[in-house]
Amino acid sequence: MSSAPTTSTDAAPNETAFDPHYERELEQWLRRRFGWLLLINLLMQTPVVILLAIDGWYAAHGTKAPWRATEPAPSWAEIFVYGCAVATSVAQTLWFMQRVKPHLHTRREVLRAANLWIYTSVAIGAATDVAGVMLSPEYLAGGYLNLMSYHLLCCLFLPWTVRECLAPMWPVLVIYGALQVILAATAINPDSTSLLSMSSMSGWVSRLLGSLGAAVLSPLILVPGMGICWLRLRIHGRRFRSRMVHRGFFSLRRELGQARAVLARLFPWNVRVPGLTLEFAHVPADEVGGDYLHASVSPDGCMRVVVIDVTGHGLAAAMTVARLSGEVDRIVAEHPRLGPGELLRRLNTYCLLTLAQQGIHATAVAAWIDPGSGRVRHANAGHPPMYVRRANATVERLEGTTMLLGVVETDEFGEAERESLLHQGDSLLLITDGLYEAFDTRGTQFGLQRVEAALKRDPSPSNWTPHLVELVQEWRGRIADDDLLAVCIRRGSGPSMPGIGESSV
């Protein structure tokens, strides 16, 4: 059945549908990368320790290392200060690896730990610079270059956002810039221990302005790290969404396949009535569809056939079919002698109370066939007409009797029934609108006239339903616009036959 008009609630899936999964992956990624950062920092201290040990050995022998041929050898005091700095850094990193990281569970906790590690690392570096300046006039403090290297190292490893990568650096830049300005204002050069003459006002002013300018421009040292963070998360976000869509597609196909198997079990597979043969072919437009067939045997031996077509197709229609199939089973179980008209009236009440409020409607046709007399009692609620195909290749159309389900109140719906007669060799055919509303590539509809012309074929095919479905599929091509369901009940002498199941043609 054709889909209902799209409403404002029929929007595309929310673009933030993957947000919880993305946040979880970022959290795990950040925790893992923080461990890598600590490990790399620990490994970077190894060559420094080796160099200090070599300098100490040469100092103990009153000489200096070969690579220091053009520079003075470090004193024991300098080796001691640098050794303390390296030892403190190693101890700090080991403490974070052993005592802090195992207890980090949320992204916020990891970010707090990373910020704390940055603060302590910067403090160790600053203390080393101060001690170096005090011990050697030629010592060149790292200053902003050290801050940039710390920030860049963290941004290379930690998958944090641009805002998160800036959070720990603002306090550091503000404090460091303020100290530089204060030192310049008090005429102390932070990069050496020499005192400056206060009479040299121009030099004092230039140093003060230089410190102010450096403090103002210091945020620029964060730009490389910000760029790395932005580019990494942008690439990762695209790959993550692509991966989730790919994973979701196959997961959806698997779940739809399971849903199709469940819906297939709702169709009649073993309905036996002596003198009647039931066959059907069902081809949903998607993995699952909105067409449904119920077949059962009444207490007086009649075959009961109900065909329902829900508006639309796909998963939503299939869920509605599951609800309606349960209601049909309940009605025939509680009222086994109910006629087709009364059954449709009760279905109309159900649809009116449950489905119509959601904008879902359905058409249905019900037929009770007596195998002994060939008498057919039928009722049609807005469904396409049924056809009686006589043994002599003539075709009779059985029109509808009432409105589609869920549109009018029960009192207005009525329960009118009509009767027809099947002779030996005659067939009763029930179809859904997908068969005659199919369009070819030129936009021409298959139409009821072609359905009737196909039914007049003489001799008739061994099975009518796959024959009709094949004709429609050849007409419309490979693009399926609607579900296809064709049902045939043939009256003839011979043993009872089970229903022939779903066709995959």
- Asked if residue 14 is part of any domain, the answer here is no
Q: What is the pTM of this model?
A: 0.59
> Phi-psi region for residue 477, left (φ > 0), alpha (ψ -120 to 50) or beta?
left
Distance from C-alpha of 302 to C-alpha of 368, rounded to nearest angstrom: 6
Residues 434 and 362 in one domain: yes
Neighbour count for residue 491 (Cβ, 10 Å): 23
Residues 287 and 185 in one domain: no
- Asked if residue 497 is part of any domain, the answer here is no
Q: Looking at residues 255-275, what average pLDDT do you find?
A: 83
Residues 321 and 194 in one domain: no
CATH number, residue 347:
3.60.40.10
Residue 69 has a pLDDT of 64
Q: 348, 379 in Cβ contact below 8 A?
A: no
Residues 225 and 273 in one domain: no
Residue 476 — very low, low, confident or very high, per pLDDT cuts 50/70/90?
A: confident
Q: 305, 367 in Cβ contact below 8 A?
A: yes
- Asked if residue 3 is part of any domain, the answer here is no
Distance from C-alpha of 90 to C-alpha of 46, rounded to nearest angstrom: 9
Query: Closest by alpha carbon to 324, among 303, 296, 294?
Result: 294
Residues 205 and 277 in one domain: no
Residues 170 and 212 in one domain: yes
Q: How many domains does the chain have?
A: 2
> Phi-psi region for residue 197, left (φ > 0), alpha (ψ -120 to 50) or beta?
beta
- Asked if residue 253 is part of any domain, the answer here is no
Distance from C-alpha of 394 to C-alpha of 460, rounded to nearest angstrom: 11
Residues 198 and 324 in one domain: no
Residues 125 and 173 in one domain: yes
Residues 296 and 237 in one domain: no
Distance from C-alpha of 329 to C-alpha of 346, rounded to nearest angstrom: 12
Average pLDDT, the chain: 82
37-51 residues labelled b (16+ CB within 10 A) or e (exposed) = bbeebbeeeeeeeeb
> Phi-psi region for residue 494, left (φ > 0), alpha (ψ -120 to 50) or beta?
left
Higher per-residue pLDDT: 143 or 150? 150
Place of tokens 């309905």: 271
- Asked if residue 254 is part of any domain, the answer here is no
Indicate the Cα dihedral angle 272, 277, 281, 282, nearest 10°. Answer: -40
> Domain span at residue 182?
19-242
What amino acid occupies position 171? P
Residue 150 has a pLDDT of 83
- Asked if residue 99 is part of any domain, the answer here is yes
The DSSP letter of residue 295 is E
Tell me the per-residue pLDDT of 27-38, one tens digit each, with 9 for 90 and over.
888 899 999 999
Q: H-helix or E-strand containing 484?
A: strand 484-491
Neighbour count for residue 445 (Cβ, 10 Å): 14
Residues 315 and 214 in one domain: no
Residues 332 and 292 in one domain: yes
Taking 80 as the threshold, does the pLDDT of residue 17 lie above it? no
Distance from C-alpha of 100 to C-alpha of 186, rounded to nearest angstrom: 41
- Asked if residue 251 is part of any domain, the answer here is no
Q: What are phi and psi of 307, to 5 degrees?
A: -115, 130
User: Which of 209, 242, 275 is the C-terminal boundary of a domain?
Assistant: 242
Residues 6+ apart with CB under 8 A from 310: 1, 290, 291, 292, 317, 320, 321, 324, 360, 361, 362
Q: Looking at residues 406-419, what average pLDDT do you find?
A: 84
Tell me the per-residue pLDDT of 267-320, one tens digit each, with 9 for 90 and over.
887 888 999 999 999 888 777 788 999 999 999 999 999 999 998 777 788 888
Residues 419 and 318 in one domain: yes
Tell me the per-residue pLDDT of 193-252, one tens digit each, with 9 for 90 and over.
444 444 456 666 676 777 788 788 888 989 999 999 999 988 988 888 887 777 776 777
- Asked if residue 502 is part of any domain, the answer here is no
